[in-house]
Amino acid sequence: MVSEVRDPGVFEVVKEDRHTGARLGRLWTAHGAVETPVFMPVGTQATVKALEPRDLRGLGASIILGNTYHLLLRPGMDVMAACGGLHRFMGWDGPILTDSGGFQVFSLNNLRKIHAHGVEFRSHIDGSKFFLGPPEAMSVQRILGSDIAMCFDECMPYPCDAQYACQSVDKTLSWAASCLQQERAPGQLVFGIVQGGEFEALRERCARELSAMGFDGYAVGGVSVGEPEDVMLKGVENGVRCLPRGRPRYVMGLGDMFQMCESVARGVDMFDCVIPTRVARHGTAYTRAGSYPVKGGSYKMDQRPVEEGCECYCCSHFSRAYVRHLLNVGEILGVRLLTIHNMHCYLRFMREMREAIANDCFGEWRQALAAVLRPGGLKSRAAL
């Protein structure tokens, strides 16, 4: 049962696992409550690719993500302001989190120059120059009217040397303090972002200094950027360890199911990733037993649903053979159906994880998941 309505920014820790850092939580925003642990579908261009807002609601999505960098370029803040902000523009009445453009500092490293007060970008669309720093990034997010705005930071690459990492963390901390001074949209929350790469002391320092600034929530950034899994999970652990218990914790850009489970065990509450929509466009289906290529020739005559036992719209009405056919002839419906299934799979996964924590069986659930999704488990074509 959801408790009475609370002011934006209230985070309730509802239950904690006795043996790990896993916990159930509830974050209140200006557009309603978000039950955690939660997976946030990514709507980079003011849409979660191939899905309508009513699809997302029907699938159980409670919060989605938008992108400062891309929406600044197209449609632009003049359009966004005239249309009343991102919620009205895209027809979504639930909570929205917007990233700040910090990830594009990493992903578009050939199109930017980093300065003391921000980053000069060349547009990936037409090459025109524009600047993003704390004031600019927060101004864009204020116009978008997101429920949660992320601080502008530098998402550093992997690997990087210790001197560069230290300088990068200095920038991220300076920019975070500046972000807190900027004007916000009514009810808008602001999250700080822990950086530090693979360096434990830097992660801990960044987390402690951000915690002292008093953000509404905190993210661990700069993970899942090409590093080995053990390094990534250690980075999450080092970042989370020094964050306050009474605030939500978010790992940015992480979408591997096993890694999300392991991060929850370390005390993480929120995730986002493009995986379920991106791989659907390339013909890959996710299931409880792993992923497989629906476009493969072995499924040409397969009358089974994409995932046996799944109750999503795709699996309730269509066969693998049909979805494969649509994908291989370039029909838009194929991408849409597979996206519906993949998103259902991800949101079901998070519901089941919340239920496991609620029922005091998270440890057993985590162990069973590892047996399926790790090497040597059931992740094989025969299981799918």
**126 among known catalytic residues:** no
d(CA 345, CA 273): 14
Question: Element (H or E) spanning 191, and its range?
Answer: strand 189-194
**Cβ pair 51, 333 in contact under 8 A:** no
d(CA 144, CA 130): 18
Q: What DSSP assignment string belongs to 97-149?
A: EEE-SHHHHHHTGGGEEEETTEEEEE-TTT--EEEE-HHHHHHHHHHHT-SEE
Active-site choice (55, 147, 153, 272): 272
**Cβ pair 266, 251 in contact under 8 A:** no
Pairing of strands 112-115, 118-122: antiparallel
d(CA 355, CA 265): 14
Quickly tell me which residue has 């970008």 as its tokens: 121
Question: Element (H or E) spanning 180, and its range?
Answer: helix 162-180
Which among 16, 20, 141 has a CA at the least distance from the CA of 72? Answer: 141
Q: What DSSP assignment string belongs to 217-281?
A: EEEE-S-SSS--HHHHHHHHHHHHTTS-TTS-EEETT---HHHHHHHHHTT--EEEESHHHHHHH
Beta carbons within 8 Å of 42's beta carbon, 6+ residues apart: 48, 64, 65, 67, 272, 273, 274, 277
**93 among known catalytic residues:** no
Active-site choice (99, 147, 153, 269): 99
What is the longest distance spanned by two Cα atoms in the chain?
60
Which among 260, 182, 186 has a CA at the least distance from the CA of 220? Answer: 260
Sequence-separated contacts (24+) of 112-119 with Cβ below 8 Å:
114/154, 114/171, 116/171, 118/152, 118/175, 119/154
d(CA 266, CA 134): 30
- Catalytic residue IDs: 99, 272
